[in-house]
Structure 1
Amino acid sequence: MHFARLLHLVDSALPTGSFAYSYGLESSITFGLITTPFALRNYLYSYLQQAGSAELPFIHSAFHLTEKSPDFQIVAEEYDAQLLVPGLYKASAAQGRNWLKLLTAFYPAAQLETITQWFTTQGIPPHFTLVFALALQRVSFALGELQAMYLHMLLRDQLSAAIRLGFLGPLEGHQLQHDFYAVFEHIIAVNADKEFGEATRSAFLLDAAQVLHAEMYSKLFQN
């Protein structure tokens, strides 16, 4: 039942807001950065590599701290400073608030509202990557489970967006998702034990595409 609960928490039907934003995929397709299935594979590989090097170190550090730890404020401020793309910054904060609200309702005994209170008091947005690790550590999930499920969520949301945009068919998209799970083991092995001070961003073209997202006419919610 423990693992089933984790699967529920990362289900795309859970209203955290991750479904609503393509993190640059839509603009990459619109502006011709992705034009073929092969280019999409390269994009996904770069996207997951950057997630591994930039996000997993923060998950590792947050998992081994609590919001009351003096060092956690440094981690939170550093993560906040590294989110330079306005769309990503806004989406991360909104997703984090929704995540904490849901988990507080699911696990009342864990007193997760103290995490929300800490971010409010410090004036720092509750970014999703940080509160994902803080909350799930407090309700007794293991770090390895968090790392794998975090990458799973990112990959699933990207492919869901590609399918909704009509770039891939559902069967093709899910086959691609199945194939990419083989990449997770390598990404986690390289980045699993890194601290937040070792976090790096490498896919700057993806960041540029994410900046352009706010300037385009979105097709994601058209029927």
Structure 2
Amino acid sequence: MSKFARLLHLIDSSIPTGAFAYSYGLESSITFGLVKNQFQLRNYLYAYLQQVTSMEFPFMNSCYRLAQPDLNAALGAMAEAYDAMMLVPALHRASLVQAKNWLRLLASFYPEAGMGTVADWFTAQGIPLHFVLAFALCLKRAGFALPEVQEMYLHMALRDQLSAAIRLGFVGPMEGHRLQHDFYAIFENLMAGHAEKEYADAFRSAYMLDVSQVLHEEVYSKLFQN
């Protein structure tokens, strides 16, 4: 099977990492009136994807550029920095669950790549393994290039948010997929400013998203875990 076909498999929505259990603030944003119409949904999605590139991309870049001589020290510092930046408890828990599921899947897909050593290292160091780090470290071992991994991650982030919007009944399936199609046109612009940055340059760019994620705990009847 070609590498492109394997990549399509890994971004398939049926891959059971657990991402579809979370709305990442969209449900609470809609419930409390922060997102009231499709125009505001577009703005929300753009802000969300901006934060993905400014926060997650630098950590993925650093995972790919780890040098073997100082791998342990560098990876430890990076992992601790990412854990400290996960400020919302529900998102922190979700990241750990998805990392565990992702690692289990990739270990079964690529047994020759030694994915299990990633989990063993984090366990030995007593450092939480978050999804973004597991995502990048595993795909690097599987032989995928960094630009492919960046675009794959951005696609998954957009897909999951629009899936949440559809399941919440905020948009219909056709409109949701048209939005997804439209957003692909700005992927390059979103990625350009952060495609080369290291984890020390990572930052959260959309603080209202953090607020909406915290407010999720106040939603009386919830479809999503966060």
Fold match (TM-score > 0.5): yes
User: What CA distance in whole angstroms lies between the structure 1 residues aligned with 2:110 and 2:221?
Assistant: 36
Secondary structure at 2:8 match in 1: helix
- The AA in structure 2 aligned to 1:47 is Y
Larger RCO, structures 1/2 (Cα 8 Å, 6+ apart): 2
Report deviation, 1:202: 1.3
Residue identity matched to 1:69: N
State the match for 2:139 in structure 1. 136
Which stretches in structure 1 are left out of the alignment for 5+ residues?
none
| Sequence identity (%) | 62
Q: Which runs of 4+ in 1 moved over 6 A?
A: none
Letter in 1 for 2:94: A
- On the 8 A contact 1:66/1:72 being kept in 2, the answer is no
SS at match of 1:92: helix
> Take 2:184 and 2:67, find their aligned partners in 1: how far apart are those partners?
30
User: Which residue of structure 2 aligns with residue 44 of structure 1?
Assistant: 45
Q: C-alpha displacement at 1:215, in angstroms?
A: 2.5
Counterpart of 1:200 in structure 2 is 203
Equivalent residue runs for 1:181-192 within 5 Å: 181-192=184-195
Q: Which residue of 1 aligns with 2:154?
A: 151
1:78, distance to aligned residue in structure 2 (A): 0.3
Q: Tell me the C-alpha RMSD between the 2 structures.
A: 1.3
- 2:76–2:127 Cα contact (<8 Å) kept: no
Could you say which residue in structure 1 is the equivalent of 2:59? Answer: 58
Query: How far 1:9 moved relative to its partner?
Result: 1.0
- Please list every run of 5 or more consecutive structure 2 residues that lacks an aligned counterpart in the other structure: none
Corresponding letter in the other structure for 2:6: R
Aligned-partner Cα distance in 2 for 1:66–1:86: 32
Name the CA distance, whole Å, in 1 between partners of 2:222 and 2:180: 22
Secondary structure of 2:218's match? coil
- TM-fit CA distance, 1:219: 4.1
Q: Which moved more, 1:6-15 or 1:140-149?
A: 6-15
**Which residue type is aligned with residue 39 of structure 1?**
Q
Matches within 5 A, 1:71-90: 71-90=74-93
Residue 217 of structure 1: how far off its partner (Å): 3.2
Q: Which of 212-221 and 145-154 deviates more? A: 212-221
